Amino acid sequence: MTGTVGGCAGPGFGSVPRKEDGRFVRGRGRFVDDIALPGMLHGAVLRSPYAHARIVSVDTTAAESHPKVRAVITGETLAARDMAWMPTFSHDVAAVLATDKVRYQGQEVAFVVAEDRYAARDALALIEVEYEPLAPVVDARRSLDADAPVIRDDLDGRTGPDGRGNHVFDWETGDEAATGVQFARAAHVSACDLVYPRVHPAPLETCGTVADYDRISGKLTVHATAQAPHAHRMLYSRIAGIPEHHIRIIAPDIGGGFGNKVGMYPGYLCAVVGSIMTGAPVKWVEDRSENLMSTSFARDFHMHGEIAADADGRILAIRVSVLADHGAFNATAQPSKFPAGFFGVFTGSYDIAAAHCRVTGVYTNKAPGGVAYACSFRVTEAVYLVERLVDVLARDTGRDPAELRMANLLTPDRFPFRSATGWEYDSGDYPRALRTALEMADYPALRAEQKERRAAYERTGAGTLTGIGMSVFTEAVGAGPRRLMDIMGLGMADGAELRVHPTGTAVLRLSCMSQGQGHETTFAQIVSHELGLPIDAVQVVQGDTDNTPFGLGTYGSRSTPVSGAAASVAASKVREQARQVAAVLLEVAADDLRWDVGTGTADGGNFAVAGVPGISVTLREIALAAHGGLDLPDGVDGQLTASTVYNPPNLTFPFGAYVCVVDVDPGTGEVDVRRFVAVDDCGVRINPMIVEGQIHGGLADGVGMALMELVAFDDDGNHLSASFMDYLLPTAMECPAWELAATVTPSPHHPLGAKGVGESATVGSPPAVVNAVLDAINVRHADMPLTPAHVWRALQGRPIRPDIAIR
Amino acid sequence: MQVPAFFEYQRATSVEHVVALLERFGPEARIVAGGHSLIPMMKLRLAQPELLVDVNDLHELSGVSVVDGQLRIGALTRHAELLASAVAGEHFPILHDAERVIADPVVRNRGTVGGSVCQADPSEDLSGVFTALRTVAVVRGPDGERTVPMREFFRGPYETAVAPAEILVELRVPLRPGAGSAYVKVDRRAGDWAVAAAGAVVSLGPGRVVTEVGIGLTAVGDADFTAVEAEDLLRGEVADEDAFAAAGAAASAHCRPVADQRGPVDYKRHLAGELTVRALRAAAARAHDGTT
C-alpha cells in the first residue's frame, strides 16, 4: 500500500488499533445467535415455493400436534391481531405472513415456534399449504404491459394511472426543457442502455432476533440485527401496538450490514408474536438461502442514458430514464421524499449545464427492498451511469477517457457548487485526485503496454489483452437535513450524550450502530480529540435503545457525518461546561481561560489562565470538582455531562479517482484484476487505518459486482442465486494488492471536517472495473456482471442479459 | 433454517464394519468422509439418510504411494494430501494442477479424493482427471473386492458403479513413464465449480508422435467425463498445434453442455475445445518423446 494519509493532526486522531478487535480476534464477540435466554424457544419460517400464487388453504393441524411445537402462526393468526401487514419505509405496506397471495418465491407464509430448532424445522414440513399458481411478472420491462398480471391486487387499483397495475411511482428531477436545449445544440450525442442488476448485500451474519416479551410487566425486549435500533423501536410499537416506552431494542455485535439490516423483516415480528403467545423468549435466525432470497436486495435499475457534448468534447448535458424494479412491495429504505434515493447526483463530478432524469418504479414478483448494499441511497447507480456514459462518449468521439474527464471536471474554485439537479456539493478538488491516481498508475506507460499487448495478440492469437478503466466519483452521504430528509416521518438528525465520570474517564452514548465499522474506536477518538482524554478512557455505548439517545442509525455512510458531528458537539459542550467549573476553581473569569488539549494523558486537556504561567487545572481535576461540593454559578450544572441533537446543514460529498488495470484472456473470457489505484478524499480522517479498511472492503465489493455478483431469476420467478455457490462474493484471489492514496479536502460544514467513507469505494469502483474490461476487449458496452461467459459473448458481439436465467 | 432431519450415526472401525452397516441399513445409509457435499445437502434436506457411516477413522484408506507400477491413492486421502504429495506431482502433474483449483484450502483440508468421485457431480474436477488417466477404481463389498475402470465408473449425475453396500477403497493410476499431463479450468471465481475444464495425458514416441492420449472433460455434459473422439483423432498424429486444434474441435463438437448461470451452451462448447487444446499443449510440453 502506498500513499499518504492526512488530516489526523491533534490528539486522538490517527491509526490506532480498534478497541473492538480484542474480542473479535478471540472469537468473543457476542452476536444475536450467541444469545441464549432461559426457556428460549426457536422459530422457523415456512416460505413460498412460488413467485406468484393464490393461497387456497393453510392447514397447521399436523404441525400443531408435533410434541415439541408450542405455536404455529399464520397470516390468519396475525390478521386477528391486525398484524398481517406492516408499513414499509416507502409509503407502502408489505405482508408479514401472506394471507391472500404469495408474491415472490421465499415469501413468508407461516412461522413455527418449537422447543428446539430441529423440531421447528421438522414441523414446517407438516404444514400443508394449497396454492393456486398465478402467472408471475419476472421481467421488469414487461411489468407495465396491459396484459401483465397485477401483483398488488390488495391495493385495489390504486397503483397507477391508465390501469397500469404494477406501477409504483414516477419521479423526475432536473430541467427537461433546458436539457433539451443543450442536446439540440450538441455536436455529439452518445446514448447507452445500462442495467445495474439486482445484487444482494449478503452480510456474513444473516438477520436474526431473540424476542422476549414479559407478560407481567408488558415489556418487550428485542435482541436483533438492527442497523437502526431506534427506528425499529418505533416500528415495533406501531405494528405490534406495544407502547414505545415498553420496548427495548438491543443490537449486539453485528456481523456486517451494508444496508441489509435497516429494514423490518417478517421473521422479527413473528418472533415477537411467538413470544407474546408462548410467554417465552423466541429466537429466529435466518439461514443463508433465506437471507439471499427474501431480505433487502440492492440496485435493479434499468437505465437509458444520453450524454451530449460540443465539438471540443465539453460535456453539455445528460438525460436519463430509469425503470426501477422494486419487487413485490415498495420497501426501499431511503429518505421518504426521495423515491429514487439520491440518484439525482448523476451529473457526477463534472461541470454540466443541464440534466434531466425520469424514474419509474414498478412491482415485480421478486423480494422487496431496493436500497441496500453500501450504495448511499442509489448514488452507486448514479455514479455507474455517468462514469460509463463518459467512457462511451470518449470512445464514440475518439478521445482518451482520462483527458475527457480532466477537461470536464469541476475545478476547486467552483465550490460550494450547485449541480444542475440542485445538489450543493460542499467541497472538492477533483483534478488533484485524478492527477494523483493517474500518476500512481503511470497512465502513459500503461497505455503503451496495452498497445504492445494488443499488437502481440493480433500477431500471434495468444496472450492476454490489457484494459485500463477509471472513474471519478462524487458521493452524497450523511443524511441529512431533517427538513428535507426523514424515514417514516423521523427526521434524520442524531442524538449523542457524553458524560465525564468523577475520575476523568467518560462514556459516550450514540444513536447509531456499528456493523463492523469500528465505532467503539472512532467515536472514542473524537472525544479524545476534543477533550484530550486517552482513547481507552472513553467508553462508547451503542445499540441499546434504553441506554442511548434517539437517532436514525448507521447506513448511507451517515455515522461520522451525523453522529460523529453530534459526538464532537457534545464534547465541545462538555468542554465549555468544564471551562465554567475551572473558572470557579481558579477564581478567574471563564473568558480568561485558554484550553490546551494536551497529549492524550489520563489528565485530559487543561484550562490555563491567560498570561499567568503555571496556573491551570486539568479536565480530570475539573471532573472531580464538578461532582463535588463546589459552589457553581447559576446556569452551570454540576457534574460534567452534555447532550445534543445534530441536524446536519447539508450532506457531505466525499469523492475520489480510481484507476483499474485488468488483463483479459480472449480465449476464455477470464478477467484478472491486475492493479487497482484508489485515491479517496473523505475529508479529515479520524482513524486512517479504519478508513483504509473500509476502502479495501468497498473495492472488493466493486470487483464482486463488476465481475460476479448477481441475483438472477428464471421465467417462473425462481430465485437462481440462493446460496453462496450461486451468489458469488469475491475472495482475496480476485483482488489485487490495493494501491491507496488520500487527499484531504475538509467538509466546510462538519465540525471535524469529516465526510464519511463507508460506501465510497463500493460506489466508485464498479465503473472503473467495467470500464477496464470493456477497454481491454474494445467493446462499447456490456452489462455487469462480466463473468467469463459474458466477456466471451460480448467479444462475439452477443452480450448476455444479466437479470434473467442464462439460456 | 438449515438443520438436518433426524439420522443415526455410526463410526466405522474397519472396511468390513462399513460393509456390514451398509448391508444392514440398505440404500438409506450413506458413507460420510469429508462431508463437504453430503452435509450441506442434509442441511438443505435434499438428502435425508437414515444412517451416516463415518469412515474417518479408517486410516488404512488414506495415503499416496507407488506400488507395482501404479500410483495408488487411498479413497480417504484428503485433497490437501494429494496436493502435497511429491510422488503424485512427479508422475502426474495433472493431479496438482487440478487440486490447486478445487474449492479452497479449507475444503481441501477435509474433503477426500474418494468422496469427490463418488459424489459424481457433473462438475467434479477429479472425475475428468481420473478418466483422462485411465484410472482403475477398487471397490469392496459383501462379495469382496472388485475393480472398475474410471471410464465405466460414472452412470450419470450423482450415480456411480459403486453399489449401495459397497465402498470405494482406492484409485490406481497406471504409471506412464515419459507421459506429460495437465489440467486447465475456467471458473467464475476461485473456489467455484468449473464452467468447463479439461485434463490431458499425452505419451509421445519418436518424432513427437502421440502414442497414447487421455482427455477428460468436466462440466460439459459428458456422462463419462471423456473426449473419446478427440483421443481417437490425436492418437498416431504428431503433437502439433494443428493436431491439437483438430482434437479441440472434436471435443467441442461431441460434448453436451447445458446452459446455467455459469454460461450458455455456445460458450461452454467453445471452452471444451479451447481448454482441450490448452491442456494438450501443456501436457505435450511436459512429455518426453524418449529421444532426448
Last residue of a domain, one of A582, A613, A646: A646
Last residue of a domain, one of A594, A611, A646: A646
| Together in a domain, A782 and A696 | yes
β pairing state of A670-681 and A739-742: parallel
Q: Give the minimum alpha-carbon distance from A271 to chain B in angstroms, rounded to a whole number.
A: 14
In this complex, do B267 and A120 lie within 8 Å of one another by their Cβ atoms? no
Residue in B186, B191, B266 nearest the CB of A731 = B191
| Together in a domain, B167 and B206 | no
β pairing state of B154-156 and B159-160: antiparallel
Identify the helix (H) or strand (E) that includes residue A623: helix A619-626
Q: Please check whether residue B55 lies inside any domain of the structure.
A: no
Pair A658, A676: CB distance under 8 Å: yes
Contacting residues of A for B263, CB less than 8 Å apart:
787-789, 792, 806
Q: Please check whether residue B271 lies inside any domain of the structure.
A: yes
Whether the CB of A788 is below 8 Å from some CB of chain B: the reply is: yes
Distances (CA, A) of A513 to A13, A505, A542: 21, 22, 6
Q: Give the minimum alpha-carbon distance from B190 to chain A in angstroms, rounded to a whole number.
A: 6
CATH code of the domain containing A123: 3.90.1170.50
The amino acid at residue A22 is G
Q: Which pLDDT does position A505 carry in this prediction? A: 98
How many distinct structural domains can be found in chain B? 3
* Mean pLDDT confidence for B105-128: 97
In this complex, do B188 and A710 lie within 8 Å of one another by their Cβ atoms? no
CATH code of the domain containing A617: 3.30.365.10
In this complex, do A117 and B190 lie within 8 Å of one another by their Cβ atoms? no
Contacting residues of A for B189, CB less than 8 Å apart:
707-708, 728, 730-731, 733-734
Q: Please check whether residue B59 lies inside any domain of the structure.
A: no
Pair A12, A521: CB distance under 8 Å: no
Q: Which pLDDT does position A159 carry in this prediction? A: 61
**What pLDDT, in 10s, does the model give residues B51-78?**
999 999 999 999 999 999 999 999 999 9
Q: Please check whether residue B57 lies inside any domain of the structure.
A: no
Whether the CB of A792 is below 8 Å from some CB of chain B: the reply is: yes
Kindly state the cell numbers that stand for B246.
483438430
Q: Give the minimum alpha-carbon distance from A667 to chain B in angstroms, rounded to a whole number.
A: 7
Question: Looking at chain B, which residue has its C-alpha nearest residue A287?
Answer: B1
Task: Give every CB contact of residue B106 below 8 A, 6+ residues apart in sequence.
Answer: none
Sheet containing strand A494-500, edge to edge, reads A538-541, A506-510, A494-500, A640-646
Q: Please check whether residue A486 lies inside any domain of the structure.
A: no
For residue A554, the enclosing domain spans: 493-646
Q: If DSSP states are collapsed to H, E and C, what string results for A267-303?
A: HHHHHHHHHHHHCCCEEEECCHHHHHHHCCEEEEEEE
**What pLDDT, in 10s, does the model give residues A66-122?**
999 999 999 999 999 999 999 999 999 999 999 999 999 999 999 999 999 999 999
Q: In the predicted model, what is the mean pLDDT of chain B?
A: 96
Q: Please check whether residue A703 lies inside any domain of the structure.
A: yes
> CA-to-CA distance for B186 and B196, rounded, in angstroms?
6
Whether the CB of B240 is below 8 Å from some CB of chain A: the reply is: no
| Together in a domain, B225 and B280 | yes
Contacting residues of B for A710, CB less than 8 Å apart:
261
Q: Which pLDDT does position A163 carry in this prediction? A: 56
Whether the CB of A69 is below 8 Å from some CB of chain B: the reply is: no
| Together in a domain, A609 and A749 | no
Residues of chain A with confidence (pLDDT) below 50 = 1-6
Q: Please check whether residue A416 lies inside any domain of the structure.
A: yes
In this complex, do A789 and B2 lie within 8 Å of one another by their Cβ atoms? no
| Together in a domain, B271 and B195 | yes
Question: Looking at chain B, which residue has its C-alpha nearest residue A124?
Answer: B1
Q: Which pLDDT does position A484 carry in this prediction? A: 96
| Together in a domain, A430 and A303 | yes
> CA-to-CA distance for A223 and A272, rounded, in angstroms?
11
In this complex, do B261 and A712 lie within 8 Å of one another by their Cβ atoms? yes
Burial A320-329 (b: 16+ CB within 10 A, else e): bebbbbbbbb
Q: How many residues does chain A have?
A: 807
| Together in a domain, A441 and A329 | yes
Q: Is the peptide bond before A785 cis (omega within 30 degrees of 0)?
A: yes
How many distinct structural domains can be found in chain A? 3
β pairing state of A282-285 and A41-47: parallel
| Together in a domain, A709 and A750 | yes
Q: Give the minimum alpha-carbon distance from B65 to chain A in angstroms, rounded to a whole number.
A: 32
Distances (CA, A) of A526 to A64, A686, A753: 54, 7, 12
| Together in a domain, A339 and A394 | yes
Whether the CB of A584 is below 8 Å from some CB of chain B: the reply is: no
In this complex, do A668 and B275 lie within 8 Å of one another by their Cβ atoms? yes
Whether the CB of A807 is below 8 Å from some CB of chain B: the reply is: yes
Q: Please check whether residue B145 lies inside any domain of the structure.
A: yes
At B5 the three-state DSSP class reads coil
Q: Please check whether residue A188 lies inside any domain of the structure.
A: no
Q: Please check whether residue A172 lies inside any domain of the structure.
A: no
| Together in a domain, A472 and A502 | no
| Together in a domain, A402 and A426 | yes
Last residue of a domain, one of B122, B140, B174: B174
Question: Looking at chain A, which residue has its C-alpha nearest residue B192?
Answer: A725
Contacting residues of B for A122, CB less than 8 Å apart:
5-6
Whether the CB of B124 is below 8 Å from some CB of chain A: the reply is: no
Whether the CB of B186 is below 8 Å from some CB of chain A: the reply is: yes
CATH code of the domain containing B140: 3.30.465.10
Contacting residues of A for B271, CB less than 8 Å apart:
668
Q: Give the minimum alpha-carbon distance from B58 to chain A in angstroms, rounded to a whole number.
A: 30
Contacting residues of A for B282, CB less than 8 Å apart:
none
Question: Looking at chain B, which residue has its C-alpha nearest residue A707?
Answer: B188
| Together in a domain, B165 and B99 | yes
Q: Which pLDDT does position A2 carry in this prediction? A: 31
Percent of chain B with pLDDT over 70: 99
CATH code of the domain containing B279: 3.30.390.50
Residue in B6, B262, B274 nearest the CB of A789 = B262
Q: Please check whether residue A180 lies inside any domain of the structure.
A: no
| Together in a domain, B21 and B114 | no
Q: Please check whether residue B58 lies inside any domain of the structure.
A: no
Best of A668, A671, A707 to substitute, by most chain B Cβ atoms within 10 angstroms, is: A668
Identify the helix (H) or strand (E) that includes residue B209: strand B209-218
Contacting residues of A for B193, CB less than 8 Å apart:
725
| Together in a domain, A556 and A675 | no
Q: Please check whether residue B3 lies inside any domain of the structure.
A: no
Residues 243-282 of chain B whose Cβ lies under 8 A from any Cβ of chain A:
259-264, 266-268, 270-271, 274-275, 278
| Chain A with chain B: Cβ pairs closer than 8 A | 84
Q: Please check whether residue A176 lies inside any domain of the structure.
A: no
Pair A707, A734: CB distance under 8 Å: yes
Q: Give the minimum alpha-carbon distance from A790 to chain B in angstroms, rounded to a whole number.
A: 8
Q: How many residues does chain B have?
A: 292
Whether the CB of A710 is below 8 Å from some CB of chain B: the reply is: yes
In this complex, do A800 and B264 lie within 8 Å of one another by their Cβ atoms? yes
Question: Looking at chain A, which residue has its C-alpha nearest residue B37?
Answer: A725
For residue B21, the enclosing domain spans: 8-47
| Together in a domain, B77 and B37 | no
Q: Give the minimum alpha-carbon distance from B174 to chain A in angstroms, rounded to a whole number.
A: 32
| Together in a domain, A36 and A100 | yes
Question: Looking at chain B, which residue has its C-alpha nearest residue A46?
Answer: B1
Task: Give every CB contact of residue A483 below 8 A, 6+ residues apart in sequence.
Answer: A491
| Together in a domain, B132 and B226 | no
Cell 432476533 sits at which residue? A209
| Together in a domain, A525 and A577 | yes
Whether the CB of A337 is below 8 Å from some CB of chain B: the reply is: no
ipTM exceeding 0.95, yes/no: yes
In this complex, do B267 and A712 lie within 8 Å of one another by their Cβ atoms? no
What sign for the dihedral angle of Cα B219, B221, B225, B228? Answer: negative
Whether the CB of B157 is below 8 Å from some CB of chain A: the reply is: no
Pair A87, A238: CB distance under 8 Å: yes
Contacting residues of A for B104, CB less than 8 Å apart:
731
| Together in a domain, B135 and B82 | yes
| Together in a domain, B187 and B150 | no
Q: Which pLDDT does position B186 carry in this prediction? A: 98
Whether the CB of B242 is below 8 Å from some CB of chain A: the reply is: no
Residue in B259, B266, B274 nearest the CB of A667 = B274
Question: Looking at chain A, which residue has its C-alpha nearest residue B278?
Answer: A667
Residue in A290, A726, A793 nearest the CB of B261 = A726
DSSP 3-state percent helix, strand, coil across chain A (nearest 5): 30, 25, 45
In this complex, do A789 and B195 lie within 8 Å of one another by their Cβ atoms? yes
| Together in a domain, A580 and A657 | no
Q: Which pLDDT does position B290 carry in this prediction? A: 74
Kindly state the cell numbers that stand for A728.
458469488
Question: With 70 as the cut, is the pLDDT of residue B172 above it?
Answer: yes
Q: Please check whether residue B138 lies inside any domain of the structure.
A: yes
Whether the CB of B193 is below 8 Å from some CB of chain A: the reply is: yes
In this complex, do A721 and B261 lie within 8 Å of one another by their Cβ atoms? yes
Distances (CA, A) of A534 to A294, A569, A691, A724, B149: 44, 18, 21, 43, 71
| Together in a domain, B185 and B280 | yes
| Together in a domain, B108 and B186 | no
